[in-house]
Structure 1
Amino acid sequence: MSDPFRDREKGFEAKYEHDEALRFRILTRRNKLLGLWVAAEIGKTGRDADVYAQALIDYALVHGAPDALASRVYADLTNAGVEITRHRLEVRMSKLLHEAEAKINEERVAGSPSF
């Protein structure tokens, strides 16, 4: 006979794991979109843009804190001569997060998981 409390605990653990995996996918997608946007702003295209986007994804994985990624992107933009405020960058990051979440949810409904 199963223990209903243990079953419930397992259910909560499974939901937490699922939610964290989904959160990771959304943030990774946002970081890719951010990288491609920044690459375009600083004049990178094609393979160079993809490499830059991947570098941002890797940077975010290593440094973790959202402020670290924003600081890196802000520095890259200003070093390239792009005039941007920190607020505008944060608004862009927020919009890209919502876009990434919508895309991931569309893919989940369609059944085609990808980053």
Structure 2
Amino acid sequence: MTTFDDRERAFEAKYSRDEEMAFRMTARRNKLVGQWAAEKMKLTAEETDAYARAVVHADFEEAGDDDVVRKLVGDLTAAGIEIDDADVRAVIEEKMVEARRQLMTEL
């Protein structure tokens, strides 16, 4: 029974680490996407930091990336930048790769 319990704890610990890493990657990705959008909107450094945090917080509204896409498309369009969902989703994918790379180098 001890071996089974040890295995179960190991799987639970791995799952927990994997979920934490996925959360950190998504948060980092959203920050990077927020910085990208802020640059497009020509925001100041302080505004860029605040906007990147707002994009990270927007992801907590619902599951998936739709809430982030809606925020970015809405804000960029309001700033007079022509963009659509597909463009934003492409940037999200690109920034996920960058976020993963950044987090892996930190480990």
TM-score, length of structure 1 as denominator length: 0.87
Structure 1 residue 46 displacement after superposition: 0.6
Structure 1 residue 79 displacement after superposition: 1.1
Structure 1 residue 85 displacement after superposition: 2.4
Aligned residues: 107
Corresponding residue number in structure 2 for 1:96: 95
Q: Distance in 2 between matches of 1:8 and 1:67?
A: 37
Structure 1 residue 63 displacement after superposition: 3.2
Corresponding residue number in structure 2 for 1:10: 9
Within 5 Å, give how 1:1-115 maps onto structure 2: 3-108=2-107
The runs of 5 or more residues in structure 2 that have no matched partner are: none
Structure 1 residue 88 displacement after superposition: 1.3
Q: Distance in 2 between matches of 1:79 and 1:63?
A: 22
Identity among equivalent positions (%) equals 35
Return the letter of the residue paired with 1:8: R
Q: Deviations over 1:63-83 (max 9, x none)?
A: 343111111111111111111
List structure 1 runs of 4+ shifted beyond 4 angstroms: none
Q: Distance in 1 between matches of 2:53 and 2:96?
A: 17
The runs of 5 or more residues in structure 1 that have no matched partner are: 109-115
Q: Is the 8 A contact 2:31 2:55 kept in 1?
A: yes
Q: Is the 8 A contact 2:61 2:67 kept in 1?
A: no
Return the letter of the residue paired with 1:95: E
